[in-house]
Chains A and B, each alone.
Chain A
Amino acid sequence: MLYAILCYNQEDVVGSWTREEDDACMARLFKVEEKLARQGRLGPVARLLPTTAATTLRKGKGEPLVLDGPFAETKEQLLGFYLVDCDDLDAALDVARDLTAANPGTGSYEIRPLQLFHPGGAVK
């Protein structure tokens, strides 16, 4: 089963990290990624620009509406996601736990099985 691991956190807090703090965090996260990659379980990984750079297409009754901003206003924002191959939910939770340990402070990881997967090609 493939699982997407969605990273939630407060982007203003994460955005206030210094360059060094950010680099250190990315280095720790990269170690988790490396392990999974060696096992051939790591799909695409993305880190997203802040929600302030987001645009939402909302489908209503008529033509879809283009709206500025993220889909929903919540306390925490989606900052990125992992695509990891896991045998079951427990295995995905183990991965998420490793990520939690590498990531300081609070924050959540939403774990959701995939219905459809497009591996995509090599991207630049």
Chain B
Amino acid sequence: MNDMAWIDAALTSARPQAMAALLRYFHDLDTAEEAYQEACLRALRNWPRNGPPRDPAAWLIFVGRNAAIDQVRRRVRQQPLPEEAVLSDREDAEERAAEALDQSGYRDDILRLLFICCHPDLPATQQIELALRVVSGLTVREIAKAFLVGESAMEQRITRAKSKVGRAGVAFEAPGPAERAERLAAVAAMVYLLFNEGYSASSGEMPLRGPLCDEAIRLARLLLRLYPAEPEIMGLTALLLLQHARSAARFDAGGSAISLEEQDRSLWNAKMIAEGLALIDKAMRHRRPGPYLLQAAIAALHSRAASAEATDWQEIDVLYSMLERLSPSPVVTLNRAVATAKVHGADAALDMVEPLEEQLSGYFYFWGVKGRFLTDCGRHAEAREAFNRAISLANNAAEAAHIRAQLDLLAGEAANSPAVVRP
């Protein structure tokens, strides 16, 4: 790694804190971004010569703030009647310079910066796009590539999202405990969505969208450093790490998805798993697991199993039942049914999923799972019907192929044992 790569990495990791502080000074995303960019330009000139500063974020905040104020002064000379907010920024310049080096309050700054991107008026994908641009500092081109749209379309989307949050006005005072918890929950949800955007990519899209997963993990770790005692943030980070650890094993050479049970576990990333498990151990000490932590604990049971057969389905069933109580949803129940089938048999699982049909009848995975349960119960005609519905709802060729293989198995069984008569 050469000097420039090192500076690049330092700038990237300092960005959230620097942007957050600059936003607090200027109360405006565009001004903060301009100030940050100016500071980065100066860093690129200055750091190779003088060596990187001990605290890159503080350096960027200080230089960015001064550069922006210079800019404002130049504008002020041309405009005799500047806005009051701009004037007050000038007057407080000295006091704020000292404040820039004081770290207190930076947690709230970063949380605010992230929270601004999670504005409820923005659709989920726009929240993510804005966070990638503003907080992570990905270029518009990189974001456009990850979302599989053109660069100019993405540019427009981000500009619109920015002006929307600009008009919305977010409180710049330090938030109270309840508000802070609310913000943290919204930001955690956004990070989770960001991860899923990357994770749900098919194999061909993986090289393009995989970076979204890395970025989500980076943001989750950032949140965890800011709030080291929040079990749900530990749970979120662990969940993302444990899922991402499997990425090398998720697709075969032909690009077809490989189910968890069939994955080559030696391809799982042991380092990420170790970190995820350590976080879960810490979080469980708090004894009040939330939805992220429960999901992480479920993922951990898969990660801990040396083989698919060694999976502790009983514990997974228990964890899913806790998750069902905390955040009930038909999809959670469907997932629980998979564990229930392993522990109590397909009949019990079928009883669980039948009431979900109304809500999940348009869901590929529902029909696939139901078909498997019916197969195991020996109700082959109904199983075929379920699998056929699954195929009609398949999102891609790989999903359809997976179900077709199940249908072939059914056909094979029927051919090999025509004499079986069920009571």
Using a CB–CB cutoff of 8 Å, the interface residues on chain A facing chain B are 10, 12-13, 15-17, 21, 24-25, 49-53, 55, 66-70, 75, 104-106
In the complex, chain A residues whose CB is within 8 Å of the CB of B297: none
In the complex, chain A residues whose CB is within 8 Å of the CB of B52: 105-106
- Tell yes or no: B1 within 8 A of A by CB: yes
- B225: which of A12, A66, A67, A104 is its contact (CB, 8 Å)? A12
- The 6 residue pairs across chains A and B that have the minimum distance between CB atoms: A69-B228, A105-B6, A104-B1, A12-B13, A53-B278, A68-B229
- Tell yes or no: B54 within 8 A of A by CB: yes
- A12: which of B222, B229, B234, B285 is its contact (CB, 8 Å)? B222
Which A-chain residue is minimally distant from B53 (CB atoms)?
A106
Interface contacts (Cβ under 8 Å), in number, total: 67
Can you list 15 A-B pairs with a CB-CB distance of less than 8 A?
A: A12-B218, A13-B10, A15-B221, A16-B13, A16-B218, A52-B237, A53-B275, A55-B282, A67-B229, A68-B229, A75-B54, A75-B55, A104-B1, A104-B2, A105-B3
In the complex, chain B residues whose CB is within 8 Å of the CB of A52: 221, 224-225, 228, 234, 237, 279
Known: A13-B10, A105-B6. A66 touches B228 (CB 8 A): no
Cβ contact within 8 Å between A21 and B1:
yes
**CA gap between A51 and B275 in the complex, in Å:** 10
- B275: which of A49, A55, A68 is its contact (CB, 8 Å)? A49
**CA gap between A13 and B57 in the complex, in Å:** 12
A50-B221, A106-B6 given; 7 more Cβ-contact pairs under 8 Å: A10-B13, A12-B13, A12-B218, A12-B222, A17-B9, A53-B279, A105-B9
- Interface SS of chain A: mixed
Cβ contact within 8 Å between A16 and B278:
no
Chain B nearest CB: distance from A7 CB in Å?
A: 16
Chain B nearest CB: distance from A78 CB in Å?
A: 14
- Tell yes or no: B249 within 8 A of A by CB: no
Cβ contact within 8 Å between A16 and B9:
yes
- B274: which of A21, A49, A105 is its contact (CB, 8 Å)? A49
Chain B nearest CB: distance from A72 CB in Å?
A: 12
- Tell yes or no: B171 within 8 A of A by CB: no
Which B-chain residue is minimally distant from A25 (CB atoms)?
B1
- Tell yes or no: B419 within 8 A of A by CB: no
- Tell yes or no: B5 within 8 A of A by CB: yes
- Tell yes or no: B12 within 8 A of A by CB: yes
Mask, B1-20, CB within 8 Å of A = 1, is: 11101100110110000000
In the complex, chain B residues whose CB is within 8 Å of the CB of A24: 1
Report B176-229 residues with CB < 8 Å from chain A CB: 218, 221-222, 224-225, 228-229
Which A-chain residue is minimally distant from B8 (CB atoms)?
A16
Which B-chain residue is minimally distant from A75 (CB atoms)?
B55
Known: A53-B275, A105-B6. A13 touches B13 (CB 8 A): yes
**Which of A67, A70, A75, A105 is packed against the most chain B CB atoms within 10 Å?**
A105
- A105: which of B10, B221, B279 is its contact (CB, 8 Å)? B10
Chain B nearest CB: distance from A8 CB in Å?
A: 11
Which B-chain residue is minimally distant from A66 (CB atoms)?
B285
**CA gap between A69 and B224 in the complex, in Å:** 9
Cβ contact within 8 Å between B285 and A50:
no
**CA gap between A51 and B221 in the complex, in Å:** 10
**CA gap between A24 and B6 in the complex, in Å:** 14
In the complex, chain A residues whose CB is within 8 Å of the CB of B229: 67-69
Cβ contact within 8 Å between B282 and A68:
yes
Which B-chain residue is minimally distant from A56 (CB atoms)?
B228
**CA gap between A51 and B228 in the complex, in Å:** 9
Which A-chain residue is minimally distant from B278 (CB atoms)?
A53
Report B52-84 residues with CB < 8 Å from chain A CB: 52, 54-55
Which B-chain residue is minimally distant from A19 (CB atoms)?
B269
**CA gap between A104 and B225 in the complex, in Å:** 23
Chain B nearest CB: distance from A50 CB in Å?
A: 7
